[in-house]
Amino acid sequence: MTRADFRELLEKRIVFIDGATGTELQKRGMPAGVCPEKWIIDNPWAIQELQKAYFDAGSDIVLAPTFTASRIKLAEYGLEDKLVEMNRQLVRLSREVAGDKGLVAADISMTGKQLYPLGNLMFEDLVDCYKEQVEAILQEGVDLFVVETMMSLQECRAAVLAIKETCDLPIIVSLTFNPDGKTLYGTSPDTAMIVLQSMGVDCVGMNCSTGPDAMLELVQQMAAVANIPIIVKPNAGLPELEDGKTVYKMSPDAFADACEKLYEAGAWLFGGCCGSTPEHISALVSRLKDKKQHQIEKKPMRVVTSERMNTWIDLDGPFMVIGERINPTGKKKFQASLLEGSLSMVVDFAREQEEKGANILDVNMGMNGIDEKQMMLDSIYEVTSAVDLPLCLDTSHVDVMEAALRIYPGRALINSISAEKEKMEPMLKLAKKYGAMFITLPLSGAGLPKDMEEKKEHIATVLNAAESLGLDRDAAVVDVLVQTVGAEGTAGLQCFETIEYCKNELGLPTVCGLSNISFGMPNRQFVNATYLTIAVSKGLTMAIANPSQDMLMYQAAAADTLMNKPGALEKYASLPVLSMTAGGATSGSAAGAKPETSTTSSESPVAECVIKGKKDQIVSEIQKLLDAGMEPQEIIENHLIKGINVVGDLYDKKKYFLPQLIAGANAMEVGMKHIEPLLASDSTEAKATVVIATVEGDIHDIGKNLVALMLKNYGFNVIDLGKDVPAATIIDKAVEVDADIIGLSALMTTTMMRMDDVVKLAKEKGCRAKIIIGGACINESFKDEISADGYSADAAECVKLVQNIMEKWA
C-alpha cells in the first residue's frame, strides 16, 4: 500500500484496527514469563483465531505480532539470532488470516533500553536495531508500519527514520501518556504531533496506559495542531483484581460510548489495547462506521520544539530572542574550555539564557582545533538534558547539520540556508527529512545582494526550492541580513524595508543578528537598542542576541507594550526596575519585580551540581568543602541530600521530568562515590535494606533502575535483583539479608499479578519486610487489593514512601 492509498482510505471513512493481543493470548493459554513471539510461533492457532475474530468484528487492519521482535528484546531470551526467521514467520501468520479481508501492519515498539545520555544506547545503534527488524519484516511484506506504546519521543524518531530509510510504506506512531498528560520523558501530545507530522508520519496518536475517558483531553491537544489523522487505541478501562486475576470490566457498549467522544474530539482511526476483545471492536465499529470522516483544515506550523516544550513563532506576537551565547566566536575563555573538551560553559550559557528570557537557543561550535561535528553532538546532548528550550542549530557544514538534526529530540530551527546552490538543496533536503524549520539567508555564492531587488530574488530562490521539495513556506524564517550602519548608511533602512516586505507581502517571520548593525561604532548598545525598537515596530519577529543585556530586553518589552501585543504590558510590569547610571542600565529591585526564579540561587555549589545534573563538576566542588575542613557526613546531609530533595520537589511539581531527575541522581551518585571512602565506619551504616526487582514475566526495568539509584543516593542499602524475577527468589533474598523493604515493579497488566504472588509468599514464609509496588499499570487501589504496604507513582515519590515507612516502623 502506498502512502497515497492509505491517505485516500482514511479520507473516505473511519478506519478500524484490531484490539488487544497480549490479554487475549493469555486467555488462550500463553503463560507469563515466556517470549510472546516464540510462544505465538509455537502456537500459531492462537493468533490466527484471534485475528480472524477481529476481522469478523469489522477491523480493517490487524497488527502482525512483531511487537517486541527486535534484536535487543529477543536477546533477553537468547533468540537474537532468530530475528529474521521469527519476524517473517510472525508476519506470515497474519497475512494468511488477512487474505483479502484487510490490511496487515507490522508492529514495532520500545526496546526497554534508555538512550544516551540517560542510558548507554546510542541513537544510531537504536536506528540500526529497528532497521534490522524492518528489513526482516519487509522480506515477507506488510501494508504499513505501526510504531506503538512508545514512551519516548526520541525513540519514536529513531523508529520513523529506520522505516523511512528502508521503505516508503505508511507509518502510524502511537505514544503512551501518563496520568499527568505527558510521556515518561515529559513530552505532551501536541509536541509529539508537531514533531512527528513534521517528519512525514502519516498518523499519530495514543494507545494503552488508560481507558478511553482519560484520552479525551489528550486527543483535543493533538487535534489543535494536527495536519494529519489521529489514532486512538485505549484500554478497556483500568485493570481490576478479581479472584486473583487482572480483569478489565468496561463493557463493549461503554467502550464504544467513550470512543464516540474521542471521534467528536478529532480521532480518525480506532482500535483497542489491553482488555479490549473482538466484542469491543464489534461494538466500536457498529457505533462509528457510518460517521462522516473528518476533513483536515491545514494549520500553519510555525513552531519549534524540544522534547518538552513548544515555541510558537507568531508574526503578530511578542518579540522573541534566540540566545546567541553558545558560540565560541570572540570568546577566548569559552574557546579554551572547548579545546579542553569541557562542556560546562555550554550548559551554563544554556541555563543562564533560559533564566534571562531567551525563547530559543542558538548552538554554534564552529572554531579551529576541535571536531565541530562531535562537539555539536555533545553540546546537543548536554543542552537538551539541562534546559527545555528548543534549539537553533547553527553550522554551515551540511554533514554537521545532518548529524545534529538526526539526534535532536524535537523540531529544530536550521541556521541557515542561503541561495548558494552547492549547499541550498542539500540543506533543504535535511529540513524536509527531519521536519525542521529553517532560516532563509538572502545570500548567493556571489556574496551580499547589491540592492533590495536582488535580496528579494535570493529569498524567492530559497523559498521556491523549498516548495519544490515539499517543504511548506510556514517552515521558513527570513534573515533580514543586517549590515553595519557605520559602513553603509542605509543599512538600517534596508533592514526595515526587508522586514515589512517579508511580513506584509510574503507573510513570513523575520530574524536578524542584532549586534551587526553597530559593528565598529562607539557606544554600540544605544545603536542596537534604537535599531531594535524601530525594527520591532516594523514587524521584526525575533533577533539572535544576548538575553543577559538588560537594555535589549527592556527595549523589546517596551516596544511590545507600546504596540499593545498580547501579554506585553504584564511582561514589562514584571521586570525589575533598573538603576540608570552613566555607564548604562543596571538591574535593581523594586515593588512589582518578579522574585528570583532560579532554583539554585540560595543553594551551595555542591547542591547546585545535583540540582542541575553537573556530574562533571560535583567532585571538584565536594573536594573544595573537604579541603576547607568540612566533615564528609555533613556534606552528604547538608549538601548532597539537600540538592536531591530539590530535584524531587521540582519533579513533583512537574517542573522537572525524567531526564532532569536522572541527571540529578547521576550527579549525586558520582558525588557519593567520591565521598564514601572518607566516611567513618560508624557512619556508613545504611538507613535500611531494600530488595528491589521487576516481577516474573516482566522485562522492563527503566523505572525500577531509577528507583534503585534514588534510594541508594538517600543512603539506603539497595539490593537490585534485576528483571523477570520469580517470587521465590525475591522472598528468599529478603529473608537472607533481613530486608526492611521489598520493592516490586511491573510495567505490563499481564504481569502485575505476580506482585500478588510475592505478597502471599511473604506471608507464608514469615518475611518481615514491608512490600511496596509501582509501575505504569499500578495504582493505589491495586495496592489495597493485594494488601501491599505502599504504592508510589515514581522514583521521587518512592523515596518519600520508604522514608515514611521506616519512620513509622521505628
Nearest Cα neighbor of 214 from 259, 266, 280 is 259
User: How much of the chain is helix, strand and coil, in % rounded to 5?
Assistant: 50, 15, 35
Other Cβ atoms closer than 10 A to 404: 26
Cell 547610571 locates to 581
CA 513 – CA 479 distance, rounded (Å): 8
Total count of residues recorded for the chain:
810
Q: Is the peptide bond before 416 cis (omega within 30 degrees of 0)?
A: yes
Q: Quick one: how far is CA 83 from the chain centroid?
A: 28
> Within 13 Å of residue 732, how many CA atoms lie on the same side as its CB?
6
CA nearest to 497, candidates 454, 438, 552, 437: 454
SS3 562: helix
Q: Contacts by 520-527 with C-beta closer than 8 Å and gap 24+? A: 520/484, 520/486, 520/487, 521/484, 521/485, 521/486, 525/549, 525/551, 525/584, 527/485
What contacts 726, CB < 8 A, 6 or more positions away? Answer: 696
Which helix (H) or strand (E) is 25 found in, with range? helix 22-27
The answer to the question of whether 208 is labelled as a binding residue is yes
User: Residues with Cβ < 8 Å from 365, sequence gap 6 or more?
Assistant: 328, 338, 372, 375, 376, 379, 395, 400
Report the alpha-carbon distance of residue 91 to residue 18 in Å, rounded.
15
Do 420 and 444 meet the contact criterion of CB atoms below 8 Å apart?
A: yes
Quick one: DSSP state of residue 447?
A: B
DSSP secondary structure string, 331-358? -HHHHHHHHTT--HHHHHHHHHHHHHT-
Q: What does the alpha-carbon distance between residue 608 and residue 255 come to, in Å, rounded to a whole number? A: 48
Cβ pair 99, 77 in contact under 8 A: no
Distance CA 575, CA 569 (A): 10
Alpha-carbon span 476 to 454, nearest angstrom: 19
Beta bridge pairs of residue 790: 772
The Cα-based distances of 259 to 130, 233, 264, 282 in angstroms read: 31, 9, 9, 13
To which residue does cell 538507613 refer? 687
Please give the C-alpha separations between residue 620 and each of 80, 424, 609, 616, in angstroms, as whole numbers: 43, 46, 10, 8
Which is it for strands 203-207 and 171-175: parallel, antiparallel or unpaired? parallel
Alpha helices in 435-562 (DSSP H): 452-468, 491-501, 524-538, 550-562
Beta bridge partners of 791: 773
Distance from C-alpha of 187 to C-alpha of 185, rounded to nearest angstrom: 6
Question: Which residues fall in the annotated binding site?
Answer: 208, 273-274
Question: Which residues fall in the annotated binding site for Zn(2+)?
Answer: 208, 273-274
